[in-house]
Amino acid sequence: MKTGKVDWEEARRRIAAIEKLFARILSPPPQEITRILKKRAEFLALEIEREREEEKIEVLEFKLGEARYAVQSNHVRSVHHIEQLTSIPCTPDFVLGIANIRGEILSVVDILKFFGLPGMGHGEMMVLLEKRDMRFCIVADAISGVHEIAREAMNPAPSSLSGAQYFLGMAPGHLIMLDAVKLLTDERLVVEEEV
């Protein structure tokens, strides 16, 4: 091309090289296809695993009376032994009293009474529930621990159950899943300073 003429031989070589490159990209050798498919499968497997993790709910399980309950752990701030409760006059019977937890005065609720269920627990523990600026404790007999429950393993709570509107569902082993958000936003659980 220095003399102003086209070097057709060089042009053909370049076109051939480009065609070879496109051929390699568009139809890679079998080993390359296997490598690409394996990488795609690994990526998809990670996506499926992430979806499965999202389908699980981490819960704190506890016992109260004869029943087993669970509440979403993202609404549990802490768990405490009941040391001293101060009763409050003119409050509903499901409010057992108030407790001082690290300098914060919080009401303690018996959910069995709140749901209108018979029986009463021993009430040795308190589970502090929290959502934004609303927080209170629910009484528990014993804490079973924190674990995950698959959403697909949960069944709807029978509507005949007292307090069913506060249940997310029933997990295997007759574990009652409480709806912490509904509890924490229920106006009946706000203690007013009125006589």
**Total of domains in the chain:** 2
What's the whole-number mean pLDDT along residues 36-45?
81
| Dist. CA 48–CA 109, nearest whole Å | 40
Q: What is the arrangement of strands in the sheet containing 95-101, beginning at the earlier edge strand?
A: 76-81, 125-131, 134-140, 104-109, 95-101
DSSP one-letter string for 163-183: TGGGEEEEETTTEEEE-HHHH
Is residue 99 situated within a structural domain? yes
119: containing domain? 57-189
| Dist. CA 165–CA 12, nearest whole Å | 78
pTM over 0.85: no
- Apex CA 153: angle with CA 156 and CA 55, to 5°? 105
DSSP one-letter string for 10-32: HHHHHHHHHHHHHHHHHS--HHH
Scanning the chain, the segments in alpha helix (DSSP H) are 8-26, 30-54, 111-115, 180-184
What's the whole-number mean pLDDT along residues 40-44?
81
117 in the same domain as 38: no
What pLDDT is stored for residue 1 in this prediction? 46
Is residue 21 situated within a structural domain? yes
Q: What CATH number is given to the structural domain containing 171?
A: 2.40.50.180
What pLDDT is stored for residue 55 in this prediction? 79
Read off the pLDDT of residues 43-71 as tens digits, 9 standing for 90 and up: 877 766 665 555 788 999 999 888 899 99
50 in the same domain as 61: no
Residue 32 has pLDDT above 50, yes or no: yes
Read off the pLDDT of residues 78-134 as tens digits, 9 standing for 90 and up: 999 988 888 888 888 888 889 998 889 998 999 888 888 776 666 789 999 998 888
66 in the same domain as 15: no
What pLDDT is stored for residue 5 in this prediction? 81
